[in-house]
Structure 1
Amino acid sequence: MDTRRPVTLGASITVFVIASIFVALRFVSRIFIVRKVGLHDYVMLLAWVLDFGFSFSLFYATKYGLGLHSSEIPFEDQFALNKATYAFTVLYNPALMAVKTSILIFYLTLTRNNKIFQIANYVTLAVVNAAGFALTMVNVFQCHPFSASFVPGVPNGATCIDIVTLYLSSSPVNIVTDLAILFLPIPILTQMRLPFKQKVILVVTFSFGFFVAVVDVIRIAFLQRAAISKSLALKTIHLQNNTDADFSWYASLSFMWSVVEVNISIICGCVPSLKPLVTRLMPKLIRDTGDPSTTPRSHYAVNESPITVPPLIAGPSPFTRTPEASPSSSVGSKPSQTGSRSLSPRRRSRQASDQPMDMLDFLTEPGHPIGDVETNTRTSASYPPDITFFDFVNMKTPASMLKLNNRESIPPIALATLLFFLWGFAYGLLDTLNTQFLRIVRLDAWHSLGLHCAYFGGYALGPLLVGRPVLKTWGFKATFITGLCIYACGALIFWPSAVLTSTVAFTISNFIVGFGLAVLETAANPFIALCGPQENSEIRLNISQGVQAIGSVLSPLLAQKVLFKDVKDVASLVDVQWTYLGIAFFDVLLAVAFYYLPVPEASDEDLEELANRRKHDNQTKVIGIPVVWLTLALGVWSQFFYVGAQEVLSTSLERFVANADPSSSLTPFDYLTVGHSVFAAGRFLAAFVQWFIKPRWFLMASYLGVIVFTALSMRTSGSTAIIMTMFIYLFESGIFSTIFAISLRGTAQHTKTASAILATAISGGAFFPFAEYAVYLSHGQPYSWSILVSLFAAGAIFPLYLNFVPTAQKQVDPVPNEYLRRHRRKRSKPSVAKQQEKQTHTEGGVLSQPRSFVSETDMLPDLPTPREVHLSPRTRSADAVHDDSSSSSRGQSQSSSQDGGKKVEFAET
């Protein structure tokens, strides 16, 4: 007899027994050592009680046939099996919800003084409980009428939800919350001022949650296998009555892994609570016996002094308004200047009153006996003030992006360009998967455009609702992390949408992915444009956007030839969802990496200071409006219509090619790939061309090219029309980046808001494909591209304004070396300043202007010589005075900067 009962029963009993032991040890530690039981302990006890019922129901179901084929189960056992499986499905979500709630309540004790992480904990707690309650209700009322849940078979007129399908479609909620629980404490733990060994132990302890995520993925794999196996028999994956589905066989291993998941979660949730017990039984395992920090306080090294261990984050966070703040500013108390012990008030109070030690005390305690609560953490005055030391991360605080020259801006630009590739790759995958989904569920072109509209609908809301507030409040790094997390959630929602073959769920997933990428683009585009000398903004942005275009070329090829090659039915559509699970995990890991990487920022004050260099040029009025705001308004206008035209071309190209040359040996997909390749190459070409000509000239030529070649493609046929279409891709390639960079010039402290508005203009891609398709249905393919000509013509108003309004020319033309200089000690050469005043920038491109490379010594800050570094401040001041008097005797009128850090005033260009 073919059976799965032994493996199901054996694995389930083993993990339940181990979980029970961990719960018992947790309460031994809390009652007899810590002498304090918290709310999270009681909730974990509740989770174990629910787990007992949950696991026992599986044992009971296995006894009555779970793991056997339905045909092999005696009829008299089916009623007992149905009751046991019903109890199992009802208790799964409450048990898992209680475990996660206990862990999150414990996290709240770690983040009580950090609002950002407290908010993240509360949001995760709300998601866990709301989703758990909703799924529990669905399982309770899985059959209609209710009595049909227990009787063998399904009575006539009754309907029941397929539990395997329900579990699989709800998997994204578990994955999202698992990842949140896994990564939420890591930033706090890595920034605690603890000895290295103890910090490693803490991070490893909390990282046990990784096993829960692994088990969840394994469980999903078995659920997916069960769903696909059923689909081969039932020819569909939609919700079905569980008769004829061989439920007891297909669901057995899936249920087993559900028990493993819940019990592993309990084990991981109890591990941090065992530290007091381990400290009492095996102190050497935790104590840093070989670390100098474990020596008595009187044996500190020179220039070292003990400090109080802060209960929370002791280092800077990317979610602070002032990223340049010193790490020491967040430490709970100042370093002691004596050799005496320095205890936090909280610990002194507890020690004086002999109160029981709580969980947070034990997390931050070294491996000393209970009576000695003094920490071993020390700090050294030998670290430079610009070093942020987290034990795990040792990095310099990055300079403002507005103060970077070309060479210095390369590393952060390369880092941000990875995000451009990411959303280009995502866009290509989405487009291909949408096509396959529509083919499988047999939806028409209007539904296809609806999915397209949902994606760009995310751009209508994301930048202003989320992107701008996060960017203005916490900066570029936080916006990158937020966008990546939202994007990961959208990718995970492809699981239920594919399993249920639900158009609504698929539309929602497209919207959330677009929303997340819109938040990313709100920060990424201005980051590239501002990171370095401003005269190269258009060049940098075109290069990064070129990398994004490469992603949009590679992903459809990969999807068409590898990932979605065999996607011909619902079962195979479910199988490719592993691609999106991989994308989600990659997004989360990238967000974690961004948390620790030194991403430069640009404060509103710096942006305003840079814009004030050309204040007169920016504030000159045109038709009563300051030119900078008129430029921004027309840039938003142009961006809206350009993106609309770009998406009209993208959605109608295959149809246009099939109409123009039906006998071609190449498929429409091949022509689309060629067009995207030309588009990618065109962006790199645009970056190169703008070394020689001004961006406004390039923009004018690009719009003229797309209008001309669109008109020619409408008037020709065959391969000639297709070649004209490829030229449209070439000329449109650099328009987006150039509009974005030009429109941001001079917006000062409003630059981040301007970026959010420009990102919102990308939503133009949501609307105009509908208009083009309607014209195609009524007047045919060639005439439908009159919409394309009209959109390009509307967008061309912007370059006309830039090139024929002198005030606008002066405002947007690049100025050499336009970036914030660092503080100088010596005066700038007056000949350089005088030369800058006399230069005119109405001729030639940026290559014809003096460049801001490090090789130009006149443009470099005057740093102290090695001899000056070792001089006392008084001697250096005397030297500075001597330099000033010497300069005055030579007749130079410009005042030099003082050693106290004042800025040199440069002539406005």
Structure 2
Amino acid sequence: MAGAPSMEQAEASQAYKSQGDFRFPLVVLTSLFFMWGFLTCLNDILIPYLKNLFDLSYTQAMLVQFCFFGAYFIVSIPAGALVGKIGYQKGIITGLIIASIGCFLFYPSASLASYNMFLIALFVMASGITILQVSANPYVSALGPAETASSRLTMTQAFNSLGTTVAPFFGSWLILSTMPHGDDVTDAAVAAAALSPAEQASAVQMPYVMLAVALVILALVFLFLKLPLLGIKDNGEAQSQATSVFSGGAWSQRHLVLGAVGIFVYVGAEVGIGSFLISFLTQADIGGYTEAEAAKYIAYYFGGAMVGRFIGALVMQKIAAGKVLAFNAVSACVLVAIAIASSGHTAMWALIFVGLCNSIMFPTIFSLALQNLKQHTSQGSGILCLAIVGGAIVPLLQGVMADNLGVQMAFILPLVCYAYIGFYGLSGSKPRLS
């Protein structure tokens, strides 16, 4: 999702031909996409856990996403400059090490029962993931013939979605299963409630230490892998591209600017719904589930997005991308409205099925926004990547609404976001000068 420095496809293809068969490195690289999807989705498990542990308001709990996605905005440009200096392979190793440090920081955060330290750990972990994304995407293009680069990128993105689908089961089993729920008076719940905050927080220590170790192992693997020696040759050019994101010709393109808003509200809506899904499903008039039971339904939400990508790819061969985007956005609006206005399993499944509508939104908005930018394409891509900060801002605003209006009514904000995406698909995505 984060932007990557530009790379000549011919150079990638030549590196492939001259340096051998990279099928095994591609498999290892694909694991990175799985890992950062996995780690990102675990935030949806952490939010109800930390909210219960530290007795947080919804606004305070949404600082989890604020710190995580805020790192994309803060670190993205410096990450591009860093990778421009040290190259893609070292960038991957650096990203893995930083992400592993963030995971290791969960151990002292839990020992001290400090919410602020948890937020710092999340920021560090997300910073590493940002560097990973800036580094890894170009390597996917490099590890094979140029003519099949698109299919390799599609495959790796599918594994990213697989990570978001698997993570809820992992989090439910190892983290949320330790939480006492509502009026639960079982022996296990009584015992859990009697523990100190530090003892209760220990449930997140081993899962994140395990993830940290896995990231370190991956860093060691990449340290010894023989990969194409690709990187930015002109460091000055890389630096100028990084600083030009905030000024230049791309800002005169109306469809790009509106597309950046589209990326902002899309990421915000997707993350916001995922962040509140457990809280929504645990409500007595919706599902009445425990947190551990509700967490498993997040897999359906993100699994729908994974399935929808394949359906959308086929549909968009016959129907214009803007129309498909608008259809999905309107469908999402209808489903969110049903979730707000109804109750029970009707509201529950309506919200979960929004995941299916999300499937094609990010890549479609991204590609529509970059239409006809020509020499400004690189700058436009950087602008769109920074717009991912919507994942930090929108859930936080939704948290404020949840504290004042209730969880169910707070979904009005994602509904407005999807309405804007519908406008963008029908009208705002058409290229013309502002």
TM-score, normalization by structure 1: 0.38
Mapped pair 1:700 → 2:326: yes
**Is 563-572 or 769-778 further displaced after alignment?**
563-572
Aligned to 1:545: 157
C-alpha distance in structure 2 between counterparts of 1:626 and 1:670, whole Å: 42
Query: Does the CA contact (< 8 Å) of 1:660 and 1:719 recur in 2?
Result: no
Please name the residue that 2:218 is paired with. Answer: 590
Residues 48 and 278, structure 2, Cα contact 8 Å, conserved in 1: no
What is the deviation of 1:664? Answer: 5.6
1:445 — aligned with what? 58
Give the aligned partner of residue 92 of structure 2.
480
| Mapped pair 1:731 → 2:357 | yes
**Contact 1:772 1:784 (C-alpha < 8 Å) held by counterparts:** yes
Q: Check if 1:800 corresponds to 2:412.
A: no
- Structure 2 counterpart of 1:654: 278
Q: Does 1:454 align with 2:78?
A: no
Whether the 8 Å CA contact 2:76–2:130 is kept in 1: the answer is yes
Counterpart of 2:185 in structure 1 is none
Aligned counterparts of 1:743 and 1:404: Cα–Cα separation in 2:
31
Does the 8 Å contact 2:37/2:164 carry over to 1? yes
CA 1:589–1:410: 2 relative to 1, 3 Å = closer
Q: Would you say the 8 A contact 1:631–1:743 is kept in 2? A: yes
Following the alignment from structure 2 to structure 1, what is the Cα–Cα distance between the partners of residues 227 and 33? 18
Check whether the contact 2:62–2:396 (CA below 8 A) recurs between aligned residues: yes
* Structure 1 residue 501: Cα displacement: 1.0
Using the alignment, how far apart are the partners of 2:251 and 2:23 within structure 1?
31
For 1:435, the aligned partner's letter is P
Q: Given that residues 101 and 124 in structure 2 are in contact (C-alpha distance below 8 angstroms), is that contact kept between their aligned partners in structure 1?
A: yes
1:685 alignment counterpart: 311
**Partner residue of 2:39 out of 426, 445, 469:** 426
Contact 1:493/1:509 (8 A) holds in 2: yes
Deviation by residue 1:568-591 (Cα, 9 ceiling, x = unmatched): 443364365233333223223322
Correspondence 1:135-214 to 2 at 5 A: none
Cα shift readout 1:360-408 (whole Å, capped 9, x = no counterpart)? xxxxxxxxxxxxxxxxxxxxxxxxxxxxxxxxxxxxxx95159989xx9
**Residue 126 of structure 2: which of 492, 500, 514 is its match?**
514
Q: 1:436 to 1:783 in 2, by over 3 A?
A: closer
Q: Which amino acid aligns with 1:641?
A: V
Is contact 1:453-1:767 (8 Å) kept?
yes
User: Structure 2: which amino acid aligns with 1:598?
Assistant: L
The aligned amino acid for 2:277 is L
**1:697 Cα deviation (Å)?**
4.2
Aligned to 2:117: 505
Q: Deviations over 1:53-78 (max 9, x none)?
A: xxxxxxxxxxxxxxxxxxxxxxxxxx
Structure 1 residues 643 and 540, CA gap change in structure 2 (3 angstroms)? farther
Q: Percent identity?
A: 26
Q: Which whole-Å CA distance do the structure 1 matches of 2:357 and 2:302 have between them?
A: 12
Q: Deviations over 1:138-192 (max 9, x none)?
A: xxxxxxxxxxxxxxxxxxxxxxxxxxxxxxxxxxxxxxxxxxxxxxxxxxxxxxx
Distance, in Å, in 2 between the alignment partners of 1:521 and 1:721 is 35
SS of match in other structure, 2:227: coil
Judged with a 3 Å threshold, the aligned counterparts in structure 2 of structure 1 residues 566 and 772 are, in CA distance, closer, same or farther, namely closer
Distance 1:506 1:703, change over 3 A: same
Residue 33 of structure 2 contacts residue 157 of structure 2 at CA under 8 Å; is this kept in 1? yes
Aligned to 1:638: 262
Shift of the 488–399 alpha-carbon distance from structure 1 to 2, 3 Å rule, reads: same
Rounded Cα–Cα distance in structure 2 between residues aligned with 1:674 and 1:705:
17
- Give the structure 1 partner of residue 199 of structure 2: 571
TM alignment of 1:220-299, pairs within 5 A: none
Following the alignment from structure 1 to structure 2, what is the Cα–Cα distance between the partners of residues 427 and 435?
15
Gaps (5+ residues) in structure 2? 180-191, 238-247
| CA distance, structure 2, for counterparts of residue 786 and residue 680 of structure 1 | 25
1:710 alignment partner in structure 2: 336
Q: Matches of 1:428 and 1:481 in 2, distance apart?
A: 22
| Bigger RCO (CA 8 Å, 6+ sep) | 2
- State whether residues 546 and 684 of structure 1, in contact with CA within 8 Å, keep that contact through their aligned partners in structure 2: no
Is the contact between residue 283 and residue 289 of structure 2 (CA under 8 Å) also seen in structure 1? no
Q: Which amino acid is the alignment partner of residue 302 of structure 2?
A: H
Counterpart residue identity of residue 32, structure 2:
L
Q: Which is higher, the Rg of structure 1 or of structure 2?
A: 1
* Structure 2 Cα separation of the partners of residues 627 and 795 of structure 1: 19
Shift of 1:423: 0.9
- 1:497 Cα deviation from its structure 2 partner: 0.8
CA contact (8 A) 2:109 2:118 kept: yes
Asked if structure 2 preserves the Cα contact closer than 8 Å seen for 1:421 and 1:550, the reply is yes
Gap change, CA 1:716 and 1:601, over 3 Å in 2: farther
Judge conservation of contact 2:48–2:279 (CA < 8 Å) in 1.
no
TM-score, L = length of structure 2: 0.75
Partner of 1:906: none
1:460 partner amino acid: F
Listed one character per residue, the Cα deviations across residues 496-518 of structure 1 (whole Å, up to 9, x for unaligned) are 11111112211110111122112
Q: Give the CA deviation at 1:593.
A: 2.6
What is the CA-CA distance between 1:642 and the residue it aligns to? 0.7
**Deviation per residue, 1:849-894 (Å, 9 max, x gap):** xxxxxxxxxxxxxxxxxxxxxxxxxxxxxxxxxxxxxxxxxxxxxx
**Following TM superposition, by how much is the alpha carbon of 1:458 offset from its aligned partner in structure 2, in angstroms?**
1.2
Task: Indicate how the Cα distance of structure 1 residues 670 and 586 shifts in structure 2: closer, same or farther if over 3 A, else same.
Answer: closer
Q: Which runs of 5+ in 1 are unaligned?
A: 1-320, 325-397, 609-623, 809-909
What is the letter of the counterpart of residue 58 of structure 2?
A: A
Q: How far 1:712 moved relative to its partner? A: 3.4
CA separation of 1:765/1:627 partners in 2, compared to 1, >3 Å: closer, same or farther? closer
Query: Counting helix residues as a fraction of each chain, which structure ranks higher?
Result: 2
> Is residue 492–residue 580 contact of structure 1 (8 Å, CA) maintained in 2?
yes
Q: Is the 8 A contact 1:546 1:681 kept in 2?
A: no
Are residues 443 and 658 of structure 1, via their aligned partners in 2, closer, same or farther at CA, if it must alter by over 3 Å?
A: closer
